[in-house]
Amino acid sequence: MRNTLGHNLTLTIFGESHGAAIGAVIDGLPGGIKVSEESIKAALAKRRPSNNGETSRVEKDEFSIISGVFNGFTNGEPVTIVIPNKDTHSNDYTVNQGLARPSHADFVAHAKYNGFEDYRGGGHFSGRITAAIVAAGAIVIDALEVKGVKIGTHIEQLGSVKDARFNATNPEIDVVNAKEFPTISDVSDKMLKEMESAGKDMDSVGGIVEGAVAGLPVGVGEPWFSSVEGELANALFSVGGVKGVEFGLGFGFSSAHGSEVNDSFSVQDGVVTTKTNNNGGINGGISNGMPVIFRCAIKPTPSIAKEQDTVNVLTGENAKLSIVGRHDPAIVRRIAPVIRAITSFVIADLLSVEFGRNFLVK
């Protein structure tokens, strides 16, 4: 099991959904980065369920930083954040033990770990683990903003309800980051109704999260096997529920002509820019100075109360399953801060590769 992301700057996650705690270790941060516990609390609050229809499992996410921070600044050692699990209802999973939940990792985890996996709440595969990613990401996000690099995510679509897309050359990052329900236009009420409707029908809906990175300098990333797209896609696909990733115009390129979608260069005040940004800020796998724009397709939450066909992995027999417990009819809102956090690690790591480990403090 590989639980570590990154090269010069690494993020390691640990814990299970119903274990004593979850957490993250950040290694490679230089000494001298300011650590704000208020920023961590604010980031965790955006991930926490807070709307009608979202899961009733509401962890307080009271975290402890047990290493790597001294007098409010990183000290150059690994930063370890621990978040206890307190609001667990493990009996919800004992009732259906052995029944593989469709579209979950239950079946593959049972096969891979020889039947010794922690099945409660999905164990290590649970979305609960993303709280640790968000907490750790808050430190990196703050450090990047000091260097002029901003990262934002918003709900571009939830079910059938669509938001506006980011302005590709000047994304509305500050606008969406200021909101608990991150949208550009005024569609949050419609999205909430879509989510509540699915929950009442014992079902779930998916959506799209769009992300943007502004302020990334030209020349970050490596051709071929460590491109900006490749590093980001690897991280984004590690987030449970993400089933598609595209950059810039993405699949829209397939039905277009080059004359329509090529990003023409121009010089503005001595700075080379592009008039459009269909390539999402990346050419040849390397940042071109324009905002990096990407979209993530989020599948419907697989935990639904409707009866489904499955198998019992303990007996090898066909079975029926109606999932009980506390689940989100849509994870799109709650996954947006996770995508923002994990993007921050990739960007900070790429910058440290290009400019050195101390880039974030010099």
pLDDT digits (tens, 9 = 90+) for 159-189: 999 999 999 999 999 999 999 999 999 999 9
Q: Rounded to the nearest 5°, which phi and psi values hold at 135?
A: -60, -45
Residue 173 in contact with residue 144, Cβ under 8 Å?
no
Of 75, 28, 14, the C-alpha closest to 348 is 28
What is 4-361's CATH number, 3.60.150.10, 3.60.21.10, 2.60.120.10, 3.30.930.10? 3.60.150.10
| Positions in the chain short of pLDDT 70 | 1, 51-58, 87-93, 325-326
| Cα 71 from chain centre | 29
- The answer to whether the predicted template modeling score (pTM) of the entire model surpasses 0.75 is yes
Residue 138 in contact with residue 40, Cβ under 8 Å?
yes
Geometric angle at alpha carbon 180, from 66 and 209, rounded to 5°: 95
Residue with tokens 């503005």: 268
Of 212, 238, 240, 237, the C-alpha closest to 328 is 240
Helix (H, G, I), strand (E, B) or coil at 127: helix
Give the separation between CA 208 and CA 223, rounded to whole angstroms: 28
User: Would the CA dihedral through 155, 157, 163, 164 be positive or negative?
Assistant: positive
pLDDT digits (tens, 9 = 90+) for 295-350: 999 999 998 989 999 999 999 999 999 887 667 899 999 999 999 999 999 999 99
pLDDT of residue 88: 67
| Cα 339 from chain centre | 2
Residue 304 in contact with residue 328, Cβ under 8 Å?
no
The radius of gyration computed from the CA coordinates of the chain, to the nearest angstrom, equals: 21
